Amino acid sequence: MTGLPPPEIATLPAPAPGPEPRGMISVNEVSKFFGSVVAVSDVSFAITAGVTALLGPNGAGKSTLFRMMCGLTPPSRGAVQVLGADPRTDRAVRGRLSLVPQQDALFDHLDALQMVTVSARGHGVNDPTAAAVTALAHVELGDVGSKPVGQFSKGMRQRVKVACALVNDPEVLILDEPLTGLDPVQRRNMIALFHRLGDEGRCVLVSSHVLDEVARLGSRLLVIAQGRLIASGDYHDLRGLMDDRPLRIRIGTSDPRRLASALVDQDLITALSLDATHVVVDTNDADAIGRRLAPLARDLNIRLTEVHPLDDDLESVFRYLVEGR
């Protein structure tokens, strides 16, 4: 949520032209206000089957958008449709979608099987226990025993939440920061699971504020910041935009002054600052720096101790997309 003025929109190149997709999720000119605070502002998109990532910094409006998609809160303006129905009012469509909420909330006194079985019963699944066993196996919690979920680690709780969401075999799966708390192996397995589900024709929408996670989640991307959709399209297009933007890089070296001079001579940088052991440079061509830095150091017979991009994080990407700097 934010009370900041609306940003300039910097969209990625549009996807390849084709017929207007009929989205499994359709968000049409949706805004959400909490009093005077604008949480989501005039957002429109449609999502079809497969994995789509929703990327945005904390407080960007991702969770509010997800809550509207699940009918947990109504839009202040605009309309949200899931599988052609309003999830706020259509009872049946709630049986065809699932949400993994961001908050770390479970019925802590239940064990994993009981927790997922409650979810299955809530969806009217015919054999709730069998469905729960299957769902737990998908998240590799099949042999977790009867320990209450209140005693689980954060990663295990995340996986229980995902199992709860899988138990009704949903056509639309909305996951709010589902990789939080997972170790690298679990993240990889979970991402593979999302892709399997997407390949089966489900609409899988995953939010994250971590760029590296999004890189592995899929090629379709929605970027939201300050409550507005600032970019949409292919992940690789965003990556290219990032690579083309001005970057600040810290270079550790045994002779900062000579290295800086050489970088200026070769017209690789637009600004620099020095200290005893580092050069910090601004460049419009990070790729060229990457290619030519090591040969340059070798030719100058100086040692490189570090090459570290200072603004290769999500916040700086958003800043660039939103403010053009």
Partner 1 sequence: MSDTANVEQRRTAGRSVPPTRALALTYRVVLRQLASRGRIIALTALALVSTVAGFALGQTDADLEAGVRLVSGLGFAVIIPVVSLVFGGAAIGDLREDKTLVYLWLRPMDRWPLVVGAFLAALTLTTPITLIPVVAAAVLAGSGGGLVAATVIAGLVAVIAYCAVFTLLGVALRRFIVWGLAYVLIWEGFIALGGAGVARFAIRKYTRSIIVDRTGVDLDLADFSQMTGIIVPLLAGVVALALASWRLARQDID
**Which residues would be at the binding site for partner 1 (CB under 8 A)?**
67, 70-73, 91-96, 99, 101, 103, 105-107, 109-110, 118-119, 121-127, 130-131, 134, 138, 164, 166-171, 197, 200
Q: How far is the CB of 136 from partner 1 (least distance, A)?
A: 12
Distance CA 131, CA 128 (A): 5
Q: How far is the CB of 191 from partner 1 (least distance, A)?
A: 16
Of the pair 123, 248, the CB lying nearest partner 1 is at 123
Instruction: Report residue 259 as tokens.
Output: 């290295």
**What are the strands of the beta sheet with 247-253, ordered from one edge?**
271-274, 278-283, 247-253, 304-309
Identify the H or E element spanning 232: strand 228-234
Which residue type sits at 151?
Q
Q: How far is the CB of 179 from partner 1 (least distance, A)?
A: 19
Of the pair 5, 124, the CB lying nearest partner 1 is at 124
Q: How far is the CB of 124 from partner 1 (least distance, A)?
A: 4
Of the pair 36, 126, the CB lying nearest partner 1 is at 126
Q: How far is the CB of 196 from partner 1 (least distance, A)?
A: 8
Of the pair 164, 238, the CB lying nearest partner 1 is at 164
Distance CA 81, CA 93 (A): 10
Query: In whole angstroms, what separates CA 311 from the centre of its chain?
Result: 18
Dihedral of alpha carbons 125, 126, 129, 132, sign: negative
Of the pair 130, 294, the CB lying nearest partner 1 is at 130
Q: How far is the CB of 239 from partner 1 (least distance, A)?
A: 31
**What are the strands of the beta sheet with 97-100, ordered from one edge?**
97-100, 172-176, 203-208, 50-55, 220-225, 228-234
Identify the H or E element spanning 221: strand 220-225
DSSP state for residue 92 in the 8-state scheme: G
Of the pair 105, 276, the CB lying nearest partner 1 is at 105
